[in-house]
Chain A
């Protein structure tokens, strides 16, 4: 039997961007003695090594993100740059990893008008559990650019979280896959320090 509704939410719909710039040590006061940092009191990880820079994000899509330009300079050398991020709420909504992957790639980099190849999917382990890694290349044919994307869908309690690696290049330039090693190390170092908001919501 359907129970009476406790509440109904009526929503009036309809509409986010990254800012950069972190002078000095962006992890001042967050460093532990083990080479890791404690981020927002919630996560512990080894920060990406220099010349990766921490991105200061305005939006809620990402929980932490790093950027690296080809010339090791300030952000802005697009389309020759790489980013790594951890997202607490990746695009999509399913709690099944493969379904989430499909939903994710319908939205990911949508605004950049990228056509993705069919992702190569691999079962991996992340955050101590089974996870799904999807790797693909997207093409922006008008501006003649391409992007290598590797996304690892993992679990935090009942919900799906994700680690992203993206690398933009002009279409006639090779990708630098060695940077994926930094990404793998970042994921391997990542720990939750407490149950998430959703795990505590009972």
Chain B
């Protein structure tokens, strides 16, 4: 999370936004966000619906598996990666998407 906060100025440069999704409730996420000083949104999805949608919900585990998904401006999923985010890979993709954005 801190890595994304560190890269926010670069995401801005590439016209991208970031949001975190978790099964924690709002007060927990608010506390966590304040503690880490995050300025991007964290979304509380206690029902786990988004986990089903993105395939990060595993039977018997009450939390989402860690996954990074990048969606382009046309709503198309362009990248999925599990585990700790590979920030460099993400930034290179966002740079490429930003270049595509300007094309007719």
Contacts and interface: CB of A to CB of B under 8 A. Distances in A.
Interface of A: 3-15, 89, 91-93, 95, 103, 107, 158-159, 197-198, 201
A8 B4 CA distance: 12
B19 to A, nearest CB: 6
A12 B19 contact: no
Nearest to B93: A7
| B-side interface size class | 35 or more
A8 B88 contact: no
Given A11-B18, A11-B67, A14-B63, A6 B37 contact: no
A12 B49 CA distance: 13
Interface string B90-104: 111111011001000
Nearest to A91: B2
A63 to B, nearest CB: 14
In the complex, the 7 A-B pairs of residues with the closest C-beta atoms, listed nearest first: A93-B6, A6-B15, A12-B64, A93-B5, A12-B67, A7-B16, A12-B56
Contacts of B2: 91-93, 107
A124 B56 CA distance: 47
Contacts of B3: 89
A12 B88 contact: no
14 contacts: A4-B15, A5-B73, A6-B101, A10-B71, A11-B1, A11-B67, A11-B68, A12-B54, A13-B64, A13-B66, A14-B63, A14-B66, A92-B6, A197-B88
